Structure 1
Amino acid sequence: MANQVVIDHELQNKATTILEGVNLNQPGALSIGKLRTVTDARVNKQQSQGLDLPGSYSAPNALTQAFLRLQAIKNSNKQPVLQACTPASIIQSLMDMVVQGLSPAKNQCYFIAYGNELQMQRSYFGTAAALLRLDNIVDIGAQDIHEGDQVSTMIDKHGHLVLDTDNTHIDWMNQDKELIGAYAIISTSDGIDHLTIMTKKQIEVSWSQSKTHNVQNKFGSEMAKRTVLNRAAKMYVNTSDDSDLLTGAINDTTSNEYDDEPRDVTPTKEEQSIQELLDGFEKSQAELAKKEEPADDHSSSAEGEQEELFKDGTITPDPAKVNA
């Protein structure tokens, strides 16, 4: 196990003391320092029980970045989410982030408040990173399709739908034309490339059931790739031999992003405000797609805010990696 650690009894006792008499479903019941202590204790316990994280992944550093960003996020009523959301939902969203090995600093995930519940959602990059942690997946790719592009498919000898690369041509000059679909390819260790393709109509049906359909419409190409990749991933996640903890976290986060069950999609005041919460993230994601360097909007304040995160003596991040 790359990151298996021993149980930190002192940290566990500190978290237990904090939680005594606390209602985790009461918004704002824990301060940021106490939230950090409890979350660190949960991560430490999971790692001591076999949670396997990538060798290059630093859970303390990812949590530091997450808490710094959470301090700047507000809900639709302009309330800081750390006070407006329940500690239970905050801790769970952070645990989902860690279990999947995601980092806010790499724009792999972001946080949104729905009522008094905080949810962690993955970007396209985060979904790809999480899926690549599954043992049988060796490569992942997705492509948006626009008017003028030529995409051809065929059935191979195993009965799998595959991309006919000889007769497929994606022209970058068509990117300003209307989106007509998207496809994703997941390559598995048995040498098979599994193709999932969706028409624009299928994508829009998925978006209509999503809590962020306004943002998806605004950033169609990138969001279309995430939609088709999420659909492609379902079979592999649910048939994987990997840990239930990892696959469960991937499934839970996917359900946060897209709801496959029919529901009332009439936008509420809160849902209309989600676009404001996501604009900054999605713009930086679009910039990454153009190979531009994303801005770290927390670099100037990180040093001072970290003192609050660690004042109770929780896990200390590696200084060499905290800004990585």
Structure 2
Amino acid sequence: MTNQLAIIQKDITDSVNSKLGELQKEGLVIPKNYNASNALKSAFFKLQEVKDKSGKPALEVCTKESVANSLLDMTVQGLSPAKTQCYFVVYGNQLQLLRSYFGTQTVLKRLSNVKDIWANVIYKDDVFDYENYHGRERLISHKTAFENRDKDILGAYAVVQTTDGEEILTVMTKKEIETSWGQSKTSQTVHKKFPQEMAKRTVINRAAKAFVNTSDDSDLLIEAVNQSTESEYEPQIKDMGDIQEVQQEIEQNANTEEIDIQEPPNTIVQEAELVDMPQQTQDQQQASFADGPGF
């Protein structure tokens, strides 16, 4: 079995590296400090710990195509599982990539017009003040106290700092955040257990959307970022057991960072080669669950 896994690892790694090289020729820029080979090695190390809901190893039950797709999506976005920027979860015989809150920040900072992005929660008795400045919301001040963290959440906000020093604000009320959560077909267990983290996840994705689509960066990167952001909470779910497994995975990690669930990448590997994946069928789309347009 060890030799077989080694062969699978080599075949998939070679295929991903080959496709990544093609994408780079087409204009995809990999961060200078990102080593795709090291990231792939780290991913396979993590994958040995990933199991399906029956306890079977992911590398035994998942198709080579889905493993390669997940790893390609990881490398295109410049993510590393060693830095807890992404995770892997099994859905039936499919492996899919979960991008963490750290991973979302990492990807957005790759955009040429974004220097930094962060989010905070507004609690009851906080003093939060902002204004509409030339058509854009701008943060004036946010004063809080340690004891307020145990009080009710009133909303959340995200700030995107551009390369020219401008800080652009996005604010969401508690009602707006809960409306976004309510459009998800999943249970609300995670949102109730970790409301602070989930609130920040929601508002930071909404803030990021405009910057992604106005970026001058490589279309290949933008496509990958858009796909991951807009398809959150829409994995290909086969049954309720898979949904419960997703919930457990998120709960295990949400106390340290936020996890974003995403669709499989729009390319697929067949016979150790990467080719375009056809769009989802109507039945597949109905089988998915969504977090709605509240990004």
Q: 2: CA distance between counterparts of 1:270 and 1:146?
A: 34
Which of 234, 238, 252 is the matching residue for 2:213? 238
Aligned counterpart for 2:156 among listed residues 182, 185, 190: 182
Q: Answer yes or no: is 1:43 the counterpart of 2:11.
A: no
Matched, 1:220 2:195: yes
Equivalent position amino acid for 1:253 in 2: S
Aligned mates of 1:216, 1:116 — CA distance in 2: 27
- C-alpha deviation, 1:134, in angstroms: 0.6
* 2:248 equivalent in structure 1: 276
The gaps in structure 2 that reach 5 residues or longer are: 259-295
RMSD, aligned α-carbons: 2.6
Report if the CA contact (8 A) 2:137-2:169 is conserved.
yes
TM-score under structure 2 length normalisation: 0.76
- CA offsets per residue over residues 114-136 of structure 1, 9 Å max, x none? 33332222222111111111111
Within 1, Cα distance between the matches of 2:221 and 2:213?
11
**Change in CA separation of 1:213 and 1:244 when aligned onto 2, cut-off 3 Å:** farther
Q: Is the 8 A contact 1:107 1:281 kept in 2?
A: no
- Residue 143 of structure 2 corresponds to residue 205 of structure 1: no
Instruction: Give the Cα separation in 2 of the matches to 1:187 and 1:47.
Output: 28
CA contact (8 A) 2:114 2:161 kept: yes
- Residue of structure 2 equivalent to 1:125: 102
Q: Residues 180 and 83 from structure 1, CA distance in 2 versus in 1: closer, same or farther, beyond 3 angstroms?
A: farther
- Tell me how far 1:248 sits from its aligned partner: 1.0
- CA–CA distance in structure 1, aligned partners of residues 94 and 185 of structure 2: 16
State percent identity of aligned pairs.
44
Q: Is the 8 A contact 1:147 1:177 kept in 2?
A: yes
CA distance in 2, matches of 1:67, 1:44: 20
Instruction: Say if 1:75 and 1:81, in contact at 8 Å, map to a contact too.
Output: yes
**Structure showing greater Rg:** 1
Is residue 124–residue 148 contact of structure 2 (8 Å, CA) maintained in 1?
Answer: yes
Where does the alignment leave 5 or more consecutive residues of structure 1 unmatched? Answer: 1-27, 260-264, 287-324
Indicate conservation of the 8 Å contact 2:23/2:220, yes or no.
no
The CA deviation string for residues 13-51 of structure 1, in whole angstroms up to 9 with x for no partner, is xxxxxxxxxxxxxxx9x8333222222222233234442
When structure 1 is superposed on structure 2, of 114-123 and 178-187 the one drifting more is 114-123
- Cα-to-partner distance string for 1:53-106 (whole Å, 9 max, x where unaligned): 111111111111111111211223333222333333322221221111111111
Task: Between 59-68 and 196-205, report the one with greater CA deviation.
Answer: 196-205
TM-superposed CA distance for 1:283, in Å, is 4.0
C-alpha distance in 2 between matches for 1:256 and 1:77: 27
The structure where strand makes up a greater share of residues is 2
Q: Does 1:251 align with 2:223?
A: no
1:3 corresponds to? none
Evaluate the alpha carbon distance shift between residue 154 and residue 217 of structure 1 in structure 2; reply closer, same or farther with a 3 A threshold: same
**Amino acid of the structure 2 residue aligned with 1:163:** L
Aligned to 1:95, which of 72, 81, 89? 72
SS of 1:138's equivalent?
Answer: strand
Deviation at 1:193, TM superposition (A): 1.8
Counterparts of 2:187 and 2:110, CA distance in 1: 26
What CA deviation, in whole Å up to 9, does each residue of 1:215-247 have, x standing for no partner? 333222122212111111111111211111111
Q: Report the alpha carbon displacement of residue 210 of structure 1 after superposing the two structures with TM.
A: 6.3
Equivalent AA in structure 2 for residue 65 of structure 1: S
Equivalent position SS for 2:95:
strand
- Displacement of 1:213: 4.4
Distance 1:216 1:123, change over 3 A: farther
Matched residue SS, 2:120: strand
How many residue pairs align between the two structures?
250
Q: Which moved more, 1:144-153 or 1:79-88?
A: 79-88
CA distance in 1, matches of 2:165, 2:185: 33
Scaled by the length of structure 1, the TM-score of the pair is 0.69
Does structure 1 conserve the Cα–Cα contact (< 8 Å) formed by 2:36 and 2:75?
Answer: yes
Alpha-carbon distance in structure 2 between the residues aligned to 1:233 and 1:257: 13
What is the distance in 2 between the residues matched to 1:160 and 1:37? 47
Structure 1 residues 77 and 40: alpha-carbon distance in aligned structure 2, compared to 1, 3 A threshold: same
In structure 2, the CA distance between the partners of 1:73 and 1:206, relative to structure 1 (3 Å rule), is: farther
